[in-house]
Amino acid sequence: MFFLNLGYQWNLAALPEVDNVILLPSGSDWERLKTVQRGQFQRVLMDPQLYLAGLDPSKCARTCSRLASCPWFCVPNLPHFNQDKQGLLEWRSSLQEKIEEKWLQQPPEGDEILSACSLSMEFQVQMGCSYIICPSPLISNRETGAALLGDWLDSSIQVFKNKEIGQPLLASVVVDENEIKENAEELSGFLDSLIAQVTARFEFSGVYVVIVQTHTNHPFQMGDKAVAAYLYLASAFNKAFDVVLLNFADIIGYISLGCGASDFATGASLPHRRMTHENYIEEGGGKAFPNFYSHKCGAEFRSEKHLDEIVKNNLVRRIIDHTQYSEPLMKELKRGGSASAIVPWAEAQNNYRTAHKHYIARISQESRKVGKLPLDDRSSLISEWLEDVDVNQVYLKEKLGRELGTQIPASDWSQRLNERL
C-alpha cells in the first residue's frame, strides 16, 4: 500500500512502519545504488527517473551528476569510479565538474532507447526488485506523447522477452502537468490515449504513474490538473490492473486508494513528496522547521508558532494525532504546554527528524488500515475521513478567525473523489 521514497537520506527506511521502499537515483548515484540491500522490506522498487533527463545542469549539477552516473541515461564519456585510484568523494566531485558539458538534457533517442531499457531493467533484476519499473521519459507533448510512450513500452517488452525477466513489469506513465488540458479525460483525449497505449500491451502487470508538476508548492497545495489526473488515472487503470502505483502524489495518493490505486509513494522532504524540476535547483532554499502532521485535521502545523495558538484556544482535541514519535508532544499539549519543552519538537531550524518520522508513521498506519479493505469499503472510509477533516478545518477557522498551518482542501478533494466513485 504505502512506499517510502528513498533518495539521499535512508535513515527513515529503518522505521518499523516502513514495509516498502522506492529507490530514487536523483538522490543516490550509481555507486551507492549498487550497495543497496533488500533488508527487511516486503517490496523494493527502483524508479529509473528518466523523466528528469531535461534538468538544467547549470542549476542542478549535483542531481544531474547522480543521474548521469546511471548507465541508462546514456551520457557518454563520463569519468568512471576506480577505487584503486580515487575515493568516492573525489569521483563525485569530478562528475559535477564535467556535468555541464556532458549532460545531454534530453532522454535517450533512437537506438539508445532499447539500450536504456535494457540497462535499467537488468539493474533492477540484479537488485532483486519486486517489480520492474520500465523507464519512460516525460510525456510533454499531447500530439506525439502517446506514440513516444508506445516506443518505450515496446522496447521494455522486447528486453523483458529477450532477457526472460521473471519479475512482473510496471509500465511508467509520466506526464507533464502543463499538457493536461480541460479535455484530457475525454474519450480519445490526451490521458485516454496514454491509458490505451499501456492497456493494449498484455505483458504489463501494472502501472507506475507520476505527474511532474509545475511549481514547488507544499504537497497539500497541489494544482487542480494534477489532482484530477492522479484520480482519473487511478480509476481508469484499476479496470485493467491489480497494481496501480502512484508516486509523488502525497495525500492525494492516499485518497486515490479509494478510487482504484493499489499503492502510493511519498517521502518526508519536499522532493520526495511532490515531483517538480524546481525541487532540484541547488541555489537558495528556505529554512526548514518541524511541522506536526495532523491526520485528523488534514494539516501540517508549525510546532510552536501554530500549536501554541491551538493550545491557547483549547483546540488540541481537534488536531491530536498519536504515533510513538508524537506521544511526548501530545502529552505536553494536552496539559497546556508548548513544543518548546520537547527538544525533538522545538521549533529550531533543521530540527525536523522527529516530525518526519511522525508523518511517515502516520501515513503508513492509515494505509495499512485501508489496505485491509475491499475497494468499496476503502472508498467509504476515505470519503468519511475527508468529511471529518472538513468539519475540523471549518471549526478551527471559526474559532481562530483564520486558517492555520497548511491544510488540504478537504471539501474540494472530497468532491473530486466522489466524482470518480
198-243, pLDDT tens digit by residue?
999 999 999 999 999 988 889 999 999 999 999 999 999 999 999 9
Choose the CATH number for 2-280 among 3.30.1380, 3.40.1350, 3.20.20, 3.10.450. Answer: 3.20.20
> What does pTM read for this prediction?
0.95
Rounded to an integer, what distance in angstroms lies between the CA atom of residue 214 and that of residue 227?
13
Side chain identity at residue 389, one-letter code: V
Give per-residue burial for 287-297: e unless 16+ CB within 10 Å, then b.
Answer: eebbbbbbbbb
Nearest to 55, CA basis, from 275, 218, 285: 275
Query: What are 293's three cell numbers?
Result: 502532521
Average per-residue pLDDT in the chain? 93
Q: Residue 184 has what pLDDT?
A: 57
CB-CB contact of 279 with 255 (8 Å)? no
- Could you report the per-residue pLDDT of 401-411, keeping only the tens digit for each? 999 999 999 99
Would you report the helix, strand and coil content of the chain in percent, each value rounded to 5?
45, 15, 40
CATH 3.20.20 boundaries in the chain: 2-280
User: What is the model's pLDDT at position 414?
Assistant: 96
Residue 168 CA to residue 182 CA, distance in Å, equals: 34
Per-residue confidence (pLDDT) for residue 402, from 0 to 100: 94
Query: Residue 82 is placed in which grid cell?
Result: 576506480
Backbone angles phi, psi at 61, to 5 degrees: -60, -45
Say if CB 1 and CB 262 are below 8 A apart: yes
Give start and end residues of each alpha helix (H) in 103-223.
112-127, 145-162, 190-199
For the cut 80, the answer to whether the pLDDT of residue 142 exceeds it is yes
**CA–CA dist 89, 343 (Å, integer):** 33
How does pLDDT run across 258-291, given as a tens digit for each residue? 999 999 999 998 899 999 999 999 876 567 899 9
For residue 230, give the 3-state DSSP assignment: helix
Q: What is the pLDDT of residue 93?
A: 86
Beta bridge partners of 189: none
Q: Identify the pLDDT of residue 183.
A: 65
Give 186's pLDDT tier (boundaries 50, 70, 90): low
Length of the chain: 421
For residue 347, what is its C-alpha cell?
521549533
State the Cα–Cα distance between residues 161 and 201, nearest whole angstrom.
Answer: 13
297-334: per-residue pLDDT in tens?
A: 999 999 999 999 999 999 999 999 999 999 999 999 99
